[in-house]
Structure 1
Amino acid sequence: MATDRAMNHPSAVGAGATRRALLRTSGVAAAGAAVALSAPFVRNARAAETTVWKVQTSWPAGVGLQTFKNWCGTIKEKTGGELEFKPFAAKEVVGDFELLDGVKNGVLEAMNSFTLYWAGKLPATAFLSSYLMGLRYPHEWDIFFYSKGGLQAAREIFAKQGLMYVNRIHHGPNIIHSKKPIRGIEDFKDLKLRVPGGMIAEGFAAIGAKTTLLPGGEVFSALEKGTIEAADYTGPAVNWDLGFQQVSKYIWTGPPGLESIYQPVDLMDFCVRMDVWNKLSPAMKRWVDDEVQVYSNEHHAAIQKADMEAWGKFEKAGTQITRLPAQDLPKFQRVAVPIWFKWANKDKDAARLFKLQLEVMESHTCGYVTPDMYKGLKIDA
């Protein structure tokens, strides 16, 4: 009876109505949240047609190319049909070293390249990927990009070329395949060696190697013909897929714990022609930026997994793997440091990037560079 009276009280009726209203509102909110969670991006209603970008990568084959193509294949669905990436392998549309111009000139809308390829045209890009004895691990590069202003600096440098540097893409260490054993720094003397250019080429030339610059897609044939005796190129998984075990008997890496002393993080990037980028809505720009980070994670993980599995294949094929003796590291350091400063002084952009990276390398977070290593050297640019 008391319960009936309580339920019939005006305040109780109001409370019940309020509870029902809240339940209805919560249901709508929950449904809205479910929709938001199930769709990574809500299509812009004003985008009547799908915008298609032709995107060429520097990957010629292997897990790198397949991961890139798989990722491109998800974009249209993720954006509700607003944006689509049409992927192309290295050299499918333009030559590997013509990628930057291909995007600038409108042949492609975007590129996924090895950033170091542009060091000859843009010296600052030598500091946007690994270099001899420089930043050593992915997290150190992220300190530079996201804690020291490196990303904004990179975007400003590429903007001068009419390109939007969307973001960096992590890759793994590079290794050297050779027709003859390399056990120490002395074995590079007179070795005909393929390198990607920039400070890396100058570093190996300084220890006596006869360096030549080739895009990755031409390395196998050069080794096969004997025009080169050794070649730096990516890691074991991609190199296995490219057949390097057929044309070389030896692999050389850095000491334990540092697989590569010259390209431990062979960074790639995703760049878009600026006029194409500026046609995107602010929301879509933010989404693409975030999505490149997603791709970076997928790419890096796929490369590492495949590399771990590939080592055994090389060993089974009879490839001999040698590591640099730890005592040779100071020898490479002495060669590398003057080259750092030489490249930093090529222009103001290069100097800007190197100053930021030197701060990271000297910090107690890293601590493997000290002022005595560059005594008498300075940045003038």
Structure 2
Amino acid sequence: MRTLKTPLTGLAAAALAATAAMADGHATTTLRVQSLFPQESPSGQLAQQFVDNVERMSGGEIDIEIFYSSAVVKSVETFDAAVSGILDCDMTGASYQTSKNPAFQFIGDIMGGYDTPYQQLSWLYYGGGMDAAQELFHAYDMHLVGWWVPGQESLSSSRPLRNVEDFKNWKFRSPPGMETKIFEKLGASPIVMDFTEVFTALETGIIDGADAAGIATNVSLGLFDIVEHATFPGFHSMPSDHLACNKAVWDGLPDDHRAIIEIAMESLALRTALTFEKVNAEAAAELAAKGISIYNWTAEDRAEFRAVAQETWHEFATTPEAKALVESHLGYLRQLGLTSE
């Protein structure tokens, strides 16, 4: 049963529509989920694995209908579409919701924080992150199911990006939120636009470069058919894409269905980190062999970026929820020996 819900149906109706009963008494769940990634991209393929795992582990009782490349609404509107019942779940990133509360930035993309996806996932599951994040999501009638963290992103550019100095007057696609403040301090000119608009903006020269995704995903998007420079390994951004569901829908699912989806998300998180560690290294090597310039920043330049980023955390944390998340991250980063602040 697939029912296209509208904002007028209400949360209770959305929950009922997501779960029904089969003739034998077993519950069935149908969820409409939107991802910002193209289906053919590495992240799109991993999302499809997640869907396949859920359906297989549930013996077909859970049917996930996933819409790729923000096919239903724009990426930034996915969260609200799930809240209103147009969709059931949001598979984008929390950074898109910073206009609601800057605290979402510190769930979506900490920037200048953890070195690896494993450290960042560790904060969520063992550093008190899930409780802190869940409180924020519940305030907006959403439930955070889990994270998947591909690892450090790369910058793609039509100009060299050898060091901080090269950011001067560099026009680039930026996601909304704190990143714009950090890069403005470093002399760049961030332009906020939807993920799906990056290719055309580069092709037409509206921007010089993009913070789009990891280097392998950037290859799949065709960015290096247009530009000839990239940073790798990345240092500036390690966003966490999430699965978050309408809370009424989530609360209405049977316990075993919730457990299956949670376990499948943990599997997706591990497979994502492992996959991108491999495919990003392969993509960088292949690009270098084709003559694309790859810039591995020095420890000094990375430290300069981190100092500006962490200074900006406090400036951006203007609500009690955001301040609490910053302190949570800093406390865990100290435990890991990644900051002395």
With the shorter chain as reference, the TM-score category is 0.7 to 0.9
Query: 1:56-95 maps to which residues of 2 (within 5 A)?
Result: 56-60=34-38, 61-95=40-74
Would the aligned equivalents of 1:170 and 1:300 in 2 still touch at CA under 8 Å?
yes
Would the aligned equivalents of 1:172 and 1:266 in 2 still touch at CA under 8 Å?
yes
| Mapped partners of 1:184, 1:81: distance in 2 | 51
| Mapped partners of 2:49, 2:161: distance in 1 | 37
Which has the larger Rg? 1
Q: What is the SS of the residue equivalent to 2:252?
A: coil
Q: 1:328 to 1:85 in 2, by over 3 A?
A: same
Partner in structure 1 of residue 316 of structure 2: 343
Higher deviation after alignment, 331-340 or 234-243: 331-340
2:275 pairs with 1:302: yes
Q: What is the SS of the residue equivalent to 1:321?
A: strand
Shift of 1:250: 0.6
Structure 2 length normalisation: TM-score? 0.88
2:96 pairs with 1:126: no
Partner in structure 1 of residue 5 of structure 2: none
Structure 1 length normalisation: TM-score? 0.79
Higher deviation after alignment, 211-220 or 332-341: 332-341
Per-residue CA distance 1:228-278 (angstroms, 9 max, x = gap): 00111211211111111111011123xxxxx22221x32111111111111
| Mapped partners of 2:23, 2:206: distance in 1 | 53
Higher deviation after alignment, 77-86 or 152-161: 77-86
Query: 1:4-153 maps to which residues of 2 (within 5 A)?
Result: 46-47=25-26, 50-60=28-38, 61-153=40-132
| Mapped partners of 1:140, 1:75: distance in 2 | 26
Shift of 1:356: 0.9
Would the aligned equivalents of 1:135 and 1:357 in 2 still touch at CA under 8 Å?
no
Would the aligned equivalents of 1:44 and 1:82 in 2 still touch at CA under 8 Å?
no
Stretches of structure 1 lacking an aligned partner (at least 5 in a row) = 1-42, 254-258, 372-381
2:323 pairs with 1:370: no
Larger relative contact order (CA 8 Å, sep ≥ 6): 2
2:234 pairs with 1:260: yes
Stretches of structure 2 lacking an aligned partner (at least 5 in a row) = 1-21
Corresponding residue pairs, total: 319
Q: 248, 258, 262: which is aligned to 1:285? A: 258
Per-residue CA distance 1:22-74 (angstroms, 9 max, x = gap): xxxxxxxxxxxxxxxxxxxxx996335x3211111121241111221232133
| Mapped partners of 2:121, 2:259: distance in 1 | 19
Would the aligned equivalents of 1:169 and 1:295 in 2 still touch at CA under 8 Å?
yes
Partner in structure 2 of residue 165 of structure 1: 144
State the superposition RMSD in angstroms.
Answer: 1.9
Query: 1:322-337 maps to which residues of 2 (within 5 A)?
Result: 322-337=295-310
Higher deviation after alignment, 276-285 or 149-158: 276-285
Counterpart residue type for residue 157 of structure 1: L
Identical pairs, percent? 25
